[in-house]
Amino acid sequence: MNLILKKDHLNHLLNAWRQEYEVYAPQSLQNFTHFLPLQDGFELAFDKAHNTRIPPKALFLPTSEALLKFTRFGGYEEVPSETAPRLIFGIRPCDAHAMTMLDTVFEQERYTDPLWKARREATVVVGLGCHEPCQTGFCTTVGSGPFNHAGLDAILTDLGEIFLVETLTEKGEHLFTQLETASEDQSMHASEVQQAAAASMPIAFETEGLKQKLDQNFASPYWEEVSRSCLGCGVCTFLCPTCFCFDIVDEAQRGERVRNWDTCMFRTYSLEASGHNPRPSRVERTRQRLSHKYSYWLDQINQIGCTGCGRCVRYCPVGLDIRAMLRKAHQLPSEVLHA
């Protein structure tokens, strides 16, 4: 159902939600925007940047969290999964879409991650579509879009003085019971805005046949060429909404077994105790990163493992651009190359 939310009514609504939920929305902190819990007198930061620097996956898979607490004499106990109701407001469709992909990792049939699942179930997600898409984003290229519905309970379209609200799930409907229904004209206007936004985004690279190119060129010098300027800092993966790798370490002094975000761009990620490393240099590590997103995810869930949020492009310290890397991959020969 389409509803109308007046912009000057937004803070009132957010405050009303705060009675029932812990509400997270983009706010400024140290030059960047972050999803932070709303406090009294909050100021939203929607105009500054489209995406928060750290993707909202961090609200479900924190950068660091305890899995076990150690007790005395070599014992241990599970850390209970948190279940307080939460609402994320203003998440962008690329980030929400990414979360549905991570669900396939953390909520797979045989092994469910209880921490992830509890947080997902306790959270309502309200999206804000991108009526002015960002320059680094390429969501329409990879099967997402500036008004994609995946992973959202409701989505807002900015129409100047008002937001048009589309509720997408029961959870979402429950949030907006007080609003008036949108007129046909308003719904039409929103749909025009949505289509214009998607149409304004150029296709960044050809995805058709890209997987096959990457698979067939596993041993190609291409990987050496595209990874040459990489510093191996890992920012592209840390800030990626579909990256989920983590490390598990025992913090003996804190008495905890902790999981921390980890990245395939680090040497120690795949380094084995024997000293052998299947991905000894940035060449193999870059290959793993790109192949995971543009080949392996397709094998696993038949979706590209990238929603085109553009963070890896925006934050790479040496300006490596995944769009350019993939355009180049498309020029590779199709025949199988042997090492």
Neighbours of 82 (CB within 10 A): 11
How far is 215 from 131, CA to CA, in rounded Å? 36
257 is a site residue for another protein (CB under 8 A): yes
Residue 8 vs 72, nearer CB to another protein:
72
Candidate list 246, 265, 303, 311; residue touching another protein; CB under 8 A: 246
Interactions with another protein, residue window 196-225 (CB under 8 A): 215, 218-219
DSSP for 143-155 reads: T--TT--TT-SEE
Q: At how many degrees (to 10) do helices 114-121 and 93-106 cross?
A: 140
Using DSSP, how many helices (H) and how many strands (E) does the chain show?
A: 13, 12
CB nearer another protein, residue 77 or residue 180: 77
Binding part of the chain for another protein, among 6-14, 180-188, 227-235, 244-252 by CB under 8 A, reads 244-252
Q: Which backbone phi and psi does 4 adopt, to 5 degrees?
A: -115, 125
Stretch that binds another protein, among 129-137, 142-150, 252-260, 321-329 (CB under 8 A): 252-260
Q: How far is the CB of 14 from another protein (least distance, A)?
A: 34
Residue 101 is encoded by which pair of tokens? 């992909």
- Which region among 184-192, 196-204, 228-236, 296-304 touches another protein (by CB under 8 A)? 296-304
Is residue 68 within the footprint of another protein (CB under 8 A)? yes
Given 134, 230, 236, 264, the residue binding another protein (CB under 8 A): 264
Contact between 160 and another protein per CB under 8 A: no
Whole-number Å distance between alpha carbons of 193 and 8:
21
338/126 Cα distance (integer angstroms): 48
Residue 240's alpha-carbon distances to 58, 84, 114, in angstroms, are 10, 26, 22
Say how far apart CA 269 and CA 265 lie, in whole Å.
8
Interface stretch with another protein, choices 133-141, 165-173, 177-185, 255-263 (CB under 8 A): 255-263
Distance of CA 300 to the CA centre of its chain: 18
From residue 171 to residue 190, the character string flagging contacts with another protein as x (rule: CB under 8 A) and all else as - is: --------------------
- Of the residues 42, 46, 70, 315, which one makes contact with another protein according to CB under 8 A: 70
Contact between 302 and another protein per CB under 8 A: no
111 in contact with another protein (CB under 8 A): yes
CB of 259 to another protein, least distance (A): 8
335 contacts another protein (rule: CB under 8 A): no
| Whole-number Å distance between alpha carbons of 26 and 41 | 14
At residue 77, the 3 state secondary structure works out as: strand
Q: How many CA atoms lie within 13 A of 312 on its CB side?
A: 26
Contact between 100 and another protein per CB under 8 A: no
The span from the CA of 111 to the CA of 198, in Å, is: 37
* Contacting positions for another protein (CB under 8 A): 67-68, 70, 73-76, 78, 105-106, 108-115, 215, 218-219, 244-250, 252, 257, 259, 262, 264, 269-274, 276, 278-279, 284, 288, 291-292, 295-297, 299-300, 339
